[in-house]
Chain A
Amino acid sequence: MTTAVREPGTGETPETPLPGPDPEITAINTKNLKKTYKSPRGNVEAVRGIDLDVPRGEFFGLLGPNGAGKSTTIGMLTTLVAPTGGTALVAGRDVVADPVGVKRRIGVVTQNNTLDMQLTVAENLQFRSRFFGLSSREASRRAAQLIDAFGLGDRRKALAHALSGGQARRLLIARALVHKPDVLFLDEPTAGLDPQTRVNLWEILRVLHAEGQTVLLTTHHMEEAEQLCDRVAIVDHGRVLAEGGVDELKQGAGAATVVTVRFEEQVQPDFPERMGLTARPSVSSAEVDGDQVRVFSAEPDGLLGELVELGAREGLHVRDAAQLRPSLETVFLALTGREYRE
């Protein structure tokens, strides 16, 4: 794997796409993509070598907890963060050698609200359209169309800073679509929205996907990824832990239901072995974490009760218990040994 760092603007002719994956098929391709933020207070390795391959038309999810490196990855793919290693092609263009070529072909909804606060809803769309070369007349027409489709008609003349969270998010998405981007990047588009608005946004995103729009979305909601994505990469600490279709991931990684029992007392580390839990063919793994016992099993029926009983034999008192059916959550748990906290 190459780790060549490219200097920005090394005079590559932007017109010829670099040799690599066919841009007709591949929307995003990264090889060992890295980012270390340097600061006097120490360096942060935000992304430690990520390989992605997203075909056109796919709805791809980057799923991970806070600080996993999702925004940094999107930042590199959208040219706003300079990679410190590896390569990234978006719509066939190298993000370092041809940032303008990339920017022409992408739509971006950043995690923060980057609406132009001093402009109205309509003006936000009009000016963005004009940035992308539409005439003022075309820009007005496109803005009207977007306002209609995103249900912002009654807020047309409102200043952007006066919008509610949900309205702002819709406008951000609308604004990212003014110029028919090859790839749409969405960085936690539903963060901070109420459930109703979130479902509403999901609906919009599904329609976009159905129309063939390539989307890369980041989220820390397992459910969101399950609802929307064809494929997800689970990232943590700047690395991809697992990647695949949502169902595929659930089947793999043990494909297990996770049964957790938490006791009042600390549990001996050898508890699972002594109780013969690890020897069972249906159990892919069993672990002790302080006062908890966690068992990954393909046949979870009755397991919970059994664990409580086994604990009682050791003089342990149950505080609470939980059973997680196979989901991205259990996959994350199996991969990291940490519970997924949103």
Chain B
Amino acid sequence: MTATAQPADVGAGASEFTAASIAALISAAPEPRPTLAKTFAAMMAREFRVLGRNAISTFTRAVLQPLLFVFVFSYVLPKIGGGMMVAGGTGAGGGSGPGLSSAGGGVTFATILVPGLMASMLLMQAIFGTTMPLVMEFSWQRTIEDRALAPVPIRVLAIQKILAGAIQSFIGACIVFPIVLLVHAAGQAPHVHVTNWVLLVAIMVFGATSASSLGLLLGTLVDPRKMQMLFAVILLPLTMLGCVYYPWSALGSIKWLQIASLVNPMVYMAEGLRAVLTPSMGHMPLWAVLLALVGGTVVFGSLATRTFRNRVVN
């Protein structure tokens, strides 16, 4: 084809390139015309390419946890009679039970679980979608520098990460839906009744954005060497005490916990979904939920963009 590189200095076989083609790279280089929108879109495309590559593990992760939960709580326990405690029985006294009786209103534990698990998935998938990759990118080789050198302000990169995480979080929560509807013992079907689809979508969207903003914030604050701490000290308490397994209103008898729970962003995700999915059950007022989720997105989002920038730029 063309002249090869001067073999003088280069041992046989080592010259895997041609001088002419390297030279052509410079002269034939396209004129870059980056715009914010194009770069942003390319970054999102990159995110989904990676996601697609890990599709099987991503999907397994998104399906397995809710599936196991639903299987144990809506199928196994009711079958073996433990349902007495968690789902069917007298409820009111059972500490860990939801405190609701199926005798009167016919509220199964599955009904409580639908919004709870969806909310828990919103958070989990956001953490897996933003925090974990970010911690990887900041540690070791700092591969984040690759994206940081793209011709956009660093905060745009942060916003892109939040959006990508939110989409994963949204999809994760959607996956729970059919699982909870389908997997249960006879008579344990959840009573789901969507009164307002627009509200449902709004709550899912803001739940997802607040979760992934929180995810980004954690990702920029957590020391990569202390990742286990993230789970033990932050994720587990948020989920266990996030009104996933009981409605917030049922906490009336433990006033201090009911009030303390208000700082937990999970609570608003779970209660918001409860309000639009299973309105027959007691739930927080919708305006409070929306305010918290939108406010959470704004507050976590702006904090995270700042901490992100400080981590990227030394």
Select the stretch in B3-11, B67-75, B178-186 that faces chain A.
B3-11
C-alpha spacing A78/B312, complex, angstroms = 12
* Chain B residue with the shortest CB-CB distance to A200: B14
C-alpha spacing A177/B38, complex, angstroms = 19
Chain B residues with CB under 8 A of A123: 46, 49
Q: Which of A78, A99, A180 contacts B29 (CB 8 A)?
A: A180
Interface of chain B, helix or strand or loop or mixed?
A: loop
Q: Which residues 1-59 of B have a CB within 8 angstroms of A?
A: 5-6, 9-11, 14-19, 21-35, 38-39, 41-43, 45-46, 49-50, 53-54
**A114, B145: Cβ atoms under 8 Å?**
yes
**A78, B149: Cβ atoms under 8 Å?**
yes
**B142, A202: Cβ atoms under 8 Å?**
no
C-alpha spacing A129/B23, complex, angstroms = 18
**A75, B314: Cβ atoms under 8 Å?**
yes
C-alpha spacing A180/B17, complex, angstroms = 19
* Chain B residues touching A, range: 35 or more
Chain A residues with CB under 8 A of B50: 118-119
C-alpha spacing A196/B12, complex, angstroms = 10
| Interface check A325, CB cutoff 8 A | no
Chain B residues with CB under 8 A of A134: 30, 32
User: Given that A118-B50, A151-B17, A200-B14 are known contacts, is A145 also in contact with B149, CB under 8 Å in the complex?
Assistant: no
Chain A residues with CB under 8 A of B33: 133
User: Given that A133-B35, A179-B32 are known contacts, is A115 also in contact with B143, CB under 8 Å in the complex?
Assistant: yes
Q: Which of B9, B15, B41, B53 contacts A118 (CB 8 A)?
A: B53
Give chain B nearest CB distance to A319 CB in angstroms.
Answer: 36
Most buried by B among A37, A115, A178, A179: A179
| Interface check A312, CB cutoff 8 A | no
Chain A residues with CB under 8 A of B312: 80
**B141, A177: Cβ atoms under 8 Å?**
no
C-alpha spacing A199/B9, complex, angstroms = 7
* Chain A residues touching B, range: 35 or more
Number of A-B residue pairs at CB separation under 8 A: 160
**B16, A100: Cβ atoms under 8 Å?**
no
C-alpha spacing A130/B155, complex, angstroms = 19
Q: Which of B11, B34, B41 contacts A132 (CB 8 A)?
A: B34
Q: Which residues 120-137 of B have a CB within 8 angstroms of A?
A: none
Most buried by B among A100, A104, A129, A178: A100
**A211, B23: Cβ atoms under 8 Å?**
yes
Chain A residues with CB under 8 A of B150: 103, 128, 131-132
Q: Which of B14, B38, B46, B146 contacts A114 (CB 8 A)?
A: B146
User: Given that A104-B34, A131-B151 are known contacts, is A204 also in contact with B22, CB under 8 Å in the complex?
Assistant: yes
**A203, B43: Cβ atoms under 8 Å?**
no
Q: Which of A119, A145, A207, A210 contacts B46 (CB 8 A)?
A: A119
C-alpha spacing A208/B26, complex, angstroms = 7
Q: Which residues 162-187 of A have a CB within 8 angstroms of B?
A: 170, 177-180
- Taking beta carbons and an 8 Å cutoff, which residues of A are in contact with B? 37, 75, 78-82, 99-100, 103-104, 106, 108, 110, 112-119, 123, 127-134, 138, 142, 145-146, 148-151, 170, 177-180, 196-197, 199-200, 202-204, 207-208, 210-213
- Taking beta carbons and an 8 Å cutoff, which residues of B are in contact with A? 5-6, 9-11, 14-19, 21-35, 38-39, 41-43, 45-46, 49-50, 53-54, 140-154, 312-314
29 intermolecular pairs with C-beta atoms under 8 Å apart: A75-B314, A79-B313, A82-B313, A82-B314, A99-B153, A99-B154, A103-B150, A104-B32, A116-B146, A123-B49, A127-B46, A132-B39, A133-B35, A133-B151, A134-B32, A149-B17, A149-B24, A170-B17, A177-B29, A178-B29, A178-B32, A179-B30, A180-B26, A180-B29, A180-B31, A199-B10, A203-B17, A204-B22, A207-B5
A79-B149, A149-B24, A200-B15 given; 5 more Cβ-contact pairs under 8 Å: A75-B314, A115-B146, A132-B34, A180-B32, A207-B19
* Nearest 3 A/B pairs, CB to CB: A151-B16, A180-B29, A130-B42
